[in-house]
Amino acid sequence: MTNSLDLARRFTALHDPAAPLALANAWDVVSARLVEASGAPAVATTSAGVAWSLGAPDGDALSRDRALDLVARVAAAVSVPVTADIESGFGADPAGVAETVAGVLAAGAVGVNIEDGTRAPADHAERLAAARAAADAAGIPLYINARIDTFLFGLGEEGTRLDETLARAAAYLRAGASGIFVPGVTDPATVAELAKGIDAPLNILVGPGAPSVGELGALGVARVSLGSWVAEAAYQLVRRASAELIAGGTYETLADAAPYRELNDLLKD
């Protein structure tokens, strides 16, 4: 309990626009240890990468038990705080989300992402409130990162999307969220408006072409995430290496592979 409390407090304190928390999302023990070894102060999982590695599509298809087992393995493998992407909560209703959050805490993680998707904001707020109540019952200040998918999914009219996002953010914070995650937008003007209008740490999804971490911090962003990008890049390498081998009988795609010994040593206790 003491360790979880300390990790939770450390993780919350990392959300600072002056030095944004930069998360290269992991999906298994080796990727988590590689992230930690890079000097990252925390490890975040990617729901897509986790689901793919376990043979399921992203989007609430993976079972709760399998997801929590992966979270426990990652949390046990690193010494830094772990935050878990639990999609929409792995529960059909708020009570189910509460059960998931209790399981996340038992697994050793101290943060979660919970996405609203196309769910009605009022319904999602109830799910967030249940998550907060479960964390309070466990005595852990869980960092609940409420993901708002208005921009990612193109919900509503384009001209009202910013206002809708800010309204959802306010409702989710009232329900118990710690911070707000808005994927699908990186243009500086909109990001600055989001940071100005949200009274909590703002998380932005980044990737090729997005502003740098420092530039986003200057706009008020407290956290940036690569999401599924790293897993996608890893799987693209598999495809390229296989295609090169089969079509050309060569292996140059693998020239920059991580050394076997280094990866093996990461798993030695």
- Cα–Cα dist 204/165, whole Å: 13
Decide if 232 is inside a domain.
no
Span 25-53, mean pLDDT?
98
- The number of folded domains in the chain is 1
SS3 229: helix
Decide if 265 is inside a domain.
no
What are the pLDDT digits (tens) for 153-177? 999 888 899 999 999 999 999 999 9
The CA-to-CA distance between both ends of the chain, in Å, stands at: 23
What are the pLDDT digits (tens) for 208-242? 999 999 999 999 999 999 999 999 999 999 999 99
Domain that holds residue 218: 2-227
CB atoms closer than 10 angstroms to residue 93: 12
Decide if 234 is inside a domain.
no
Decide if 259 is inside a domain.
no
Please name which of 213, 228, 246, 256 lies closest in space to residue 49, comparing C-alpha atoms.
Answer: 228
Residue 17 belongs to a domain with what CATH number? 3.20.20.60
Is 11 in contact with 243 (CB distance < 8 Å)? Answer: no
Decide if 51 is inside a domain.
yes
Decide if 16 is inside a domain.
yes
- pTM strictly above 0.85: yes
What are the pLDDT digits (tens) for 103-126? 999 999 999 999 999 999 999 999
List strand residue ranges (DSSP E) for 42-140, in order: 43-44, 82-85, 111-115
Decide if 45 is inside a domain.
yes
Decide if 258 is inside a domain.
no
Cα separation values, 109 from 56, 85, 113, Å: 22, 10, 11
